[in-house]
Amino acid sequence: MSTTLWSGDAPIFSVLVPVWHPDPHHLLACVESVRSQTTAEWELCIVADGPQPPEVERLLDLDDDRIRVHRRPVNGGIAAATDDALAMARGEFIALLDNDDTLADEALGTVAWEIAGYDDVDFVFTDEDHLHPTTGERINPFYKPGFSMERLRQQMYLGHLIVCRRTLAVEVGGFRPGFDGSQDHDLALRAIERARRVLHVPKLLYHWRESPTSTALDSGAKDWAYEAGVRVVASHLERTGFPAVASRNRDWPGIIDLEPDLVDHPEISIVVPTGGACRVVAGVEVLLVEQAIRSVAAVSTYPNYEIVVVLDRRSDEGLPARLAAAAGPVPIHFVGDHRPFNFAAACNLGAIRGRGEVLLFLNDDTEIVMPGWMERLVMYATRPDIGAVGAKMLYGDGRIQHAGTWSRYGNPAHRYVGYPADHPGYLAALATAQNCLAVTAACLAVERRKFDQVGGFATMFPLAYNDVDLCLKLSRSGYRTAVDCVTQVVHHESSSRDPSVEDWELDQLLGRWGPILAADPYDNPNHTADGVEEYPPTSTFLVDVRDHFAEADFRARAWPAPHAHLRG
């Protein structure tokens, strides 16, 4: 029998394992994976959820002071069993482990080392892979993106391993009955709503066993769990006042759809800078800005908006009359800007002249094809902890042009460029909203007060990267950037100007934001097959960054909680 449990008064980790009729060999592997941890700072809290088969009962007679077993007289379900395990726990943090899965030997030690770098971590998640159902081979790694509150609201992508400060788990009510199958998602949302800091460890530290009754192998094996997921998200929406209704996505198991349920409809000022360029679209020459405004007026269902058109010196004198006719009953205003073209300055000028509480910057070469697009953008933009919000932008031929901007080795780029419009993305990433480094100003919504707070667009970026700079300024002020991949807008990109990007623009951006662009907090350094273009470095700085990160052992990445900036 072990005589030394841990060096302090309590272990760092209490590993919670609810047990319900597992394969005995899998349960043994599960227990041994905890015993094999490279750190001794753990205890194992097992709850047998009702009577178990004889072989399982024999395995639960464990002669180890670090392992405690509680037997429930009747089966109460996974939420009740896990909550009983939580009541047994004495550790600073709880770690959740299913009875047929295993931990990597270094899992708890790695998490402990990463936690030690901060004094306010309340929640941790790691990357994971699967165990083949017959060979036990490790397959299907899931290299998770950094923490995204918007994605977690629609998908329990945190999965395994998740670790939560024990006192916080108890404070929020532990594992609640009625949410079996999605009890981890329920706890994660309630805990992170109050957490001070969330930590992502981008290492494969959890091995999820595929079995006929596991969603790891068959997404339809636990259909009831997905229905519970809708109730989990609905409960979160009610608690946080998020203006949406939750429903199940029937195409992608595990995804929760959100439909706007707005209480208020603040006025939106749609700011459209234009030079009045024409282009052939679908075989017909069109005045781009006229097509854009006509589509806004014809398709949109939002009840309270105006359009502010910023006319540069290339504009024809007859353009305002044509655009007013295209807008119909929608209020439209015109502002002349006869300075040399500067997209950032033109957007700022339009924002000044608009009167809306929400600013929506829209390129003149866009086309609206989705009725509820403004409702969806407002649903996110008016949240107190979200800054800029963008949409999934599509080329005229239906391929993806933009689904958020990420940066790898200092090169900000659009993700999933050229993919089909209905492509789900990596593990259904394109079926949800999610957080990212930046969104394109071709369609960008932000509350006026937040825009003013950071000084609007920086005019030192007249053509490119003004949107990236704006989003990073908002991030520095405590606001997340989000892209809603359900909202779709057609973008006939670069119709009115040269689409090329000058090196000086990128160098200027790196001078302001080099460190964060070198290591995007929303990316995963281990994963490359996710639609991010790998541009070759164009400066000495980027070469150094690329070489450094190609060899680095990536540490964890930590995010303040979604509401942290609102605390006094």
**Could you tell me the CATH number of the domain that includes residue 348?**
3.90.550.10
Considering the domain boundaries, does residue 304 fall inside one? yes
Q: Mark whether 30 and 154 lie in a shared domain.
A: yes
Considering the domain boundaries, does residue 45 fall inside one? yes
Q: Mark whether 396 and 289 lie in a shared domain.
A: yes
pLDDT at 399: 94
pLDDT at 566: 33
Last residue of a domain, one of 206, 222, 238: 222
Last residue of a domain, one of 163, 197, 222: 222
pLDDT at 519: 85
C-alpha distances in angstroms, 481 versus 390, 433, 442, 469, 553? 8, 10, 15, 12, 27
Q: Mark whether 405 and 302 lie in a shared domain.
A: yes
Q: Mark whether 97 and 167 lie in a shared domain.
A: yes
Task: Determine the number of helices (DSSP H) and then strands (DSSP E) in the chain.
Answer: 16, 26
Contact of 558 with 198, CB cutoff 8 Å: yes
pLDDT at 109: 97
* Closest of 162, 185, 30, 32 to residue 99, by C-alpha: 30
pLDDT at 542: 37
Considering the domain boundaries, does residue 247 fall inside one? no
Q: Mark whether 454 and 315 lie in a shared domain.
A: yes
Q: Return the structure tokens found at 236.
A: 């979160």
Q: Mark whether 287 and 216 lie in a shared domain.
A: no
Please state the domain count of the chain. Answer: 2
Q: Mark whether 184 and 272 lie in a shared domain.
A: no
Considering the domain boundaries, does residue 228 fall inside one? no
Contact of 254 with 155, CB cutoff 8 Å: yes
Considering the domain boundaries, does residue 240 fall inside one? no
Q: Mark whether 156 and 293 lie in a shared domain.
A: no
* C-alpha–C-alpha distance, residues 433 and 435, integer Å: 7
Q: Mark whether 217 and 274 lie in a shared domain.
A: no
pLDDT tens by residue, 316-366: 888 999 999 999 999 999 999 989 989 999 999 999 999 999 999 999 999
pLDDT at 559: 56
Q: Which residues are CB-contacts of 503 (< 8 A; sequence separation ≥ 6)?
A: 538, 539
Q: Is the dihedral of CA 468, 474, 480, 484 positive or negative?
A: negative
User: Whole domain around residue 416: which residue ranges?
Assistant: 268-530
Considering the domain boundaries, does residue 114 fall inside one? yes
Contact of 5 with 43, CB cutoff 8 Å: yes
pLDDT at 545: 36
pLDDT at 7: 53
pLDDT at 315: 83
Q: Mark whether 174 and 283 lie in a shared domain.
A: no
Last residue of a domain, one of 187, 222, 257: 222
How far is CA 427 from its chain centroid? 12
Q: Mark whether 415 and 356 lie in a shared domain.
A: yes
What global pTM score does this model have? Answer: 0.90
Q: CA angle, 405 as apex, 542 and 472 as ends, to 5°?
A: 80
* C-alpha–C-alpha distance, residues 209 and 133, integer Å: 6
pLDDT at 62: 87
CB atoms within 10 A of CB 448: 19
Considering the domain boundaries, does residue 562 fall inside one? no
Give me the residues of the chain with pLDDT under 50, please. 1-5, 216-218, 495-498, 532-555, 563-568
* C-alpha–C-alpha distance, residues 24 and 61, integer Å: 13
pLDDT at 526: 81
* C-alpha–C-alpha distance, residues 254 and 67, integer Å: 33
Considering the domain boundaries, does residue 568 fall inside one? no
Q: Mark whether 18 and 113 lie in a shared domain.
A: yes
